[in-house]
Amino acid sequence: MALLSVGDRVPAFALSDDNGRVWTQADFAGRTVVLYFYPKDDTPGCTREACAFRDGLEAFEERGATVFGISADDIASHARFRDKYSLNHPLLSDPTHATCEAFGVWGTQRWRDQTYEGIARTTFVLRDGVVAVVFPDVDPTGHPERVLAVL
Give the residue extent of every domain in the chain. Answer: 14-148
- Please indicate, yes or no, whether the overall pTM of this predicted structure exceeds 0.85: yes
DSSP-assigned letters across all residues of 92-131: EE-TT-HHHHHHT-EEEEEETTEEEEEE--EEEEEETTEE
> From CA 71, how far away is CA 28, in angstroms rounded?
18
Catalytic residues: 46
Maximum CA extent, the chain: 43
> From CA 85, how far away is CA 51, in angstroms rounded?
7
CATH number for region 14-148: 3.40.30.10
pLDDT digits (tens, 9 = 90+) for 57-70: 999 999 999 999 99
pLDDT digits (tens, 9 = 90+) for 7-38: 999 999 999 999 999 999 999 999 999 999 99
Residue 111 in this model has a pLDDT that exceeds 80: no
